[in-house]
């Protein structure tokens, strides 16, 4: 007879146990992965005489975002993956996520200054906005504005019920 869905382990718990990452490092890697995918999406599109041309974020100020993504990935794999970032590494991760957001923001400001009065022909792409959001979300996560909760599941052998306990991980927001 198949087990009930309450007695099966959570998929997120299985993935984290297999990868052996701390939640903050895993979420930082997810935000960096979203920013990396956003770098490959269109950042700017130019429409002129019925023809359309788009460019991704792997040029200009978008390269600053790429360096920031590389920094977050490198810092996530340094040291023990199962532990939280140290205070020093947390500062570096915040700088790297700041670079991701700053690269997207500077690209946007540069596009607006160069486009001038041709705003109807030069459009901002979805990749720019996704990269900016991923950079700001990663910055808020590493600073501690977004709280990460630990959920531990315990199953009692006789009753077959699951008790979920939620605890908040204290984060050090001092720089």
Torsional sign, CA 125, 140, 23, 147: negative
The answer to whether position 75 is within a domain reads: yes
Show the tokens assigned to 56. Answer: 């991704």
Yes or no: say if 39 and 58 are a contact pair by the CB < 8 Å rule.
yes
7 in a structural domain: no
Answer whether residue 157 is part of any domain. no
Dist. CA 50–CA 149, nearest whole Å = 51
pLDDT score at 91: 92
* 104: containing domain: 20-148
Is 156 part of a structural domain of the chain? no
Range of weakest confidence among 3-12, 69-78, 120-129: 3-12
Mean pLDDT of the chain: 79
Is 46 contained in some domain?
Answer: yes
Asked if 69 and 132 touch (Cβ cutoff 8 Å), the reply is: no
- Residues 111, 55: contact at Cβ < 8 Å? no
- Percentage of residues in the chain having pLDDT higher than 70: 71
Token pair recorded at residue 165: 């306990």
The whole-number average pLDDT for the span 55-62 is 86
d(CA 1, CA 142): 45
DSSP 8-38: SPPHHHHHHHHHT--HHHHHHHHHHHHHHHH
pLDDT band at 74 (very low <50, low <70, confident <90, very high): very high
Q: What is the mean pLDDT of residues 2-31?
A: 69
Separation of alpha carbons 26 and 121, rounded Å = 40
pLDDT at residue 102 tops 60: yes
% of the chain residues with pLDDT over 90? 32
Q: What is the reported pTM?
A: 0.71
The verdict on residue 81 lying in a domain is yes
* Rounded Cα gap, residues 10 and 95, in angstroms: 33
Cα 171 from chain centre: 18
Residue 60: strand, helix, or coil: coil
Q: Quick check: is 153 in a domain?
A: no
Question: What CA–CA distance (Å, rounded) separates 42 from 52?
Answer: 12
Range among 55-64, 71-80, 127-136 with highest mean pLDDT value: 127-136
How many structural domains is the chain composed of? 1
pLDDT range class, residue 85, cuts 50, 70, 90: confident
Would residue 141 count as lying in a domain? Answer: yes
């Amino acid at each position: 007879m198949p087990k009930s869905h309450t007695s099966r382990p959570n998929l997120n718990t299985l993935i984290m146990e297999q990868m052996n990452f701390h939640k903050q490092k895993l979420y930082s890697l997810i935000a960096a992965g979203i920013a990396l995918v956003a770098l490959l999406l269109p950042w700017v599109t130019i429409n002129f005489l019925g023809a359309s041309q788009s460019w991704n974020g792997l040029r200009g100020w978008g390269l600053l975002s790429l360096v920031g993504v590389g920094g977050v990935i490198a810092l996530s794999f340094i040291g023990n993956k199962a532990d939280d970032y140290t205070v020093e590494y947390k500062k570096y991760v915040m700088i790297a996520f700041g670079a991701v957001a700053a690269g997207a923001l500077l690209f946007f400001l540069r596009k607006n200054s160069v486009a001038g009065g041709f705003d109807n022909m030069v459009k901002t792409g979805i990749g720019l906005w996704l990269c900016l959001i991923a950079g700001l979300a990663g910055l808020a996560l590493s600073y501690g504005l977004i709280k990460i909760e630990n959920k531990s599941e315990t199953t009692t052998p006789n009753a077959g019920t699951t008790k979920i306990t939620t605890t908040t991980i204290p984060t050090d927001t001092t720089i």
